[in-house]
């Protein structure tokens, strides 16, 4: 059976934006920004998106479109060596870890959406009375398992329908809906009492925070940048594998990054005014996963039209989460379809069954959840992306340049060679560096020793590859 392709260019871009825009922008981003001192963190994160995220995204597109296979098959085929399939397997494994906790949070969102809707009907949402206790009850336990399963089923439903009739159709209306709702919510939020203070916190550029806490910020900023652009698990390889025409990859990549950033910043313009208008300092309601739910639920509870606003807000988050979860599930489904010839339905049932179990573990144990969502995923994504970049720079080499230039305009063609150098050398070194700082934060080993260690690790990796094929 011929491999499916996207029906339209905009379909591919919107599906990739759908993957990028997700809980990362709306749930994780405000929470991590608040924990790390606001605007300075935002600036650092935007810098990493531009300098690391976009070139990294293009590298994933290059792999996917060149091979037109799932991550495992793609790395095998492009390298001509089965050993690289292991690296692809690592990506697929990471995607399963990711979807396990992602689907649990998606379940929380569905529950909050449902309760907000009830609130519109009944006048007050059930969680309004005591947001803290209500989140505690909703986030861990059998309820959380049940909602996780519902969310997972919705995700699988779209994936089973395939690329054109499922993912493309779904994301094509979800993305404009998210955008329109967020613009409306941001406009409304700007009329709230705390808006001015919130903008000051969010948008003021205070470099001293960066200078004082460079190491502390780097890991979270890089982790968030990779997470938000869906890098490091093979989603973008998979989506690009369904491209048939040779359109400009640099253009598509830049579009995805810009749209994703706009939505992220918009989400902050909704979340922060709400919190500030109630005098809730972001991060004050406890740091961690619940901060946003408890803080915002508290805000909604005190607003005149709270249930209605809450419904719009949780609808945005639900659509964003769903379109991302779809892109995560598609990785392992495409793997089973390509490599084992399973029909989509069987593949989705297999992966869905597995994630039903692993996600339930996260839903039943807050410790496991916190470790997976807070630490493990950052590490897996960073390693996964670094490995892919080394692959593109050192194994694909010239082929990657050819693929990058295909269909690109004059600007895209001009940046191809510097891009490959960044992808093969600078970015992997940077990623190893951030990984080391993540482990280092308390040890305080210092900047230059960490750089030296990163160069050494990266150098060893490159040296190991020399025998396979050399950089252009
Ligand atoms: N980018 C998604 C978000 O911000 C998360 C994601 C990560 C999706 C990796 C796919 C792959 O929520
Ligand atoms: Na999404």
Report how far residue 297's alpha carbon sits from residue 352's, in angstroms, rounded to the nearest whole number.
30
Q: Whose CA is nearest to atom 4 of ligand 1?
A: 24
Question: What pTM, to 2 d.p., does this model score?
Answer: 0.92
Per-residue confidence (pLDDT) for residue 278, from 0 to 100: 74
Q: Please report the pLDDT score of residue 470 as a whole number.
A: 45
Asked if residues 426 and 88 have their Cβ atoms less than 8 Å apart, the reply is no
Q: Is the Cα torsion angle 413, 418, 421, 425 positive or negative in sign?
A: negative
Confidence (pLDDT) at 327: 98
424, 392 contact by CB (below 8 A): yes
Which residues, at least 6 apart from 418, have a Cβ–Cβ distance to it below 8 Å?
none
**What is the block-wise mean pLDDT of the chain (472 residues), using blocks of 10 residues?**
89 97 85 75 88 96 98 97 94 97 95 94 84 85 96 98 96 95 94 86 73 78 91 97 92 95 89 80 58 80 87 95 98 98 96 98 92 86 95 95 95 95 94 80 64 76 63 40
**Distance (Å, whole) CA 229 – CA 254:** 11
Question: Residue 69 Cα, ligand 1 centroid: separation in angstroms?
Answer: 20
Per-residue pLDDT, 339: 97
The pLDDT of residue 444 is 61
- C-beta of residue 450 within 8 angstroms of C-beta of residue 436: yes
Q: Whose CA is nearest to atom 9 of ligand 1?
A: 230
Largest separation between any pair of C-alpha atoms in the chain:
69
Ligand 1 centroid to 10 CA: how many Å?
A: 19
- Ligand 1 atom 7, closest CA: 230
Best of 30, 175, 227, 260 to mutate for ligand 1, by most ligand atoms within 8 A of CB?
227
Please report where in the chains the tokens 């996917």 appear, as a residue: 64
Q: What is the pLDDT of residue 276?
A: 82
In this structure, the residues whose C-beta lies within 6 A of any atom of ligand 1 are 19-20, 22-25, 98, 227-228, 230, 233, 235, 324, 327-328
Q: Which residue, judged by its Cα, is nearest atom 8 of ligand 1?
A: 230
Three-state secondary structure string covering the chain: CCCCCCCCHHHHHHHHHHHHCCHHHHHHHHHHHHHCCCHHHHHHHHHHHHHHHHHHHHHHHHHHHHHCCCHHHHHHHHHCCCHHHHHHHHHHHHHHHHHHHHHHHHHHHHHHHHHHHHHHHHCCCHHHCCHHHHHHHHHCCHHHHHHHHHHHHHHHHHHHCCHHHHHHHHHHHHHHHHHHHHHHHHHHHCCCCCHHHHHHHHHCCCHHHHHHCHHHHHHHHHHHHHHHCCCCCCHHHHHHCCCCCCCCHHHHHHHHHHHHHHHHHHHHHHHHHHHHHCCCCCCCCCCCCHHHHHHHHHHHHHCCCHHHHHHHHHHHHHHHHHHHHHHHHHHHHHHHHHHHCCCHHHHHHHHHHHHHHHHHHHHHCHHHHHHHHHHHHHHHHHHHHHHHHHHHHHHHCHHHHHHHHCCCCHHHHHHHHHHHHHHHHHHHHHHHHHHHHHHHCCCCCCHHHHHHHHHHHHHHHHHHHHCCCCCC
pLDDT at residue number 288:
58
Q: ipTM surpassing 0.85, yes or no?
A: yes
Alpha-carbon distance 360 to 356, whole Å? 6
């Amino acid at each position: 059976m011929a491999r499916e392709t996207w029906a339209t260019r905009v379909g591919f871009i919107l599906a990739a934006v759908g993957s990028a825009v997700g809980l990362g922008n709306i749930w994780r981003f405000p929470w991590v920004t608040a924990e790390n001192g606001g605007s300075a963190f935002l600036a650092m994160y935007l810098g990493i998106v531009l300098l690391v995220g976009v070139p990294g995204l293009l590298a994933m597109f290059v792999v996917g479109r060149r091979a037109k296979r799932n991550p495992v098959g793609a790395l095998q085929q492009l390298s001509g060596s089965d050993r690289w399939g292991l690296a692809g397997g690592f990506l697929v494994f990471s995607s399963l870890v990711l979807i396990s906790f992602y689907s649990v949070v998606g379940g929380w969102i569905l529950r909050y959406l449902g309760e907000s809707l009830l609130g519109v009907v009944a006048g007050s949402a059930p969680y309004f009375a005591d947001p803290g206790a209500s989140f505690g009850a909703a986030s861990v336990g059998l309820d959380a398992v049940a909602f996780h399963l519902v969310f997972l089923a919705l995700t699988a439903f779209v994936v089973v329908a395939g690329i054109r009739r499922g993912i493309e159709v779904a994301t094509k209306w979800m993305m404009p809906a998210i955008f329109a709702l967020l613009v409306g919510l941001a406009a409304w939020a700007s009329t709230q009492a705390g808006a001015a203070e919130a903008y000051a916190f969010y948008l003021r550029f205070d470099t001293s925070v960066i200078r004082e806490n460079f190491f502390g910020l780097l890991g979270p900023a890089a982790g968030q940048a990779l997470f938000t652009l869906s890098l490091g698990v093979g989603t973008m390889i998979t989506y690009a594998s369904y491209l048939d025409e040779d359109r400009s990859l640099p253009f598509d990549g830049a579009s995805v990054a810009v749209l994703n950033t706009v939505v992220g910043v918009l989400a902050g313009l909704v979340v922060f005014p709400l919190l500030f208008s109630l005098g809730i300092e972001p991060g004050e309601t406890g740091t961690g996963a619940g901060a946003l739910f408890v803080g915002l639920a508290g805000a909604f509870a005190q607003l005149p039209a709270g249930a209605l606003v809450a419904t719009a807000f949780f609808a945005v988050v639900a659509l964003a989460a769903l379109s991302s979860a779809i892109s995560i599930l598609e990785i392992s489904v495409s793997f089973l379809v390509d490599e084992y010839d399973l029909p989509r339905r069987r593949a989705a049932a297999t992966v869905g069954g597995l994630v039903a179990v692993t996600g339930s573990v996260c839903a039943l144990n807050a410790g496991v959840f916190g470790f997976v969502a807070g630490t493990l995923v950052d590490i897996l994504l960073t390693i996964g992306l670094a490995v892919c970049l080394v692959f593109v720079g050192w194994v694909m080499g010239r082929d990657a340049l050819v693929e990058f230039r295909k269909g690109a305009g004059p600007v895209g063609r001009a940046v191809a060679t510097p891009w490959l150098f960044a992808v093969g050398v600078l970015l992997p070194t940077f990623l190893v560096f951030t990984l080391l700082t993540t482990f280092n934060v308390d040890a305080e080993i210092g900047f230059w020793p960490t750089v030296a260690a990163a160069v050494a690790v990266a150098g060893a990796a490159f040296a190991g590859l020399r025998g396979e094929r050399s950089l252009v």
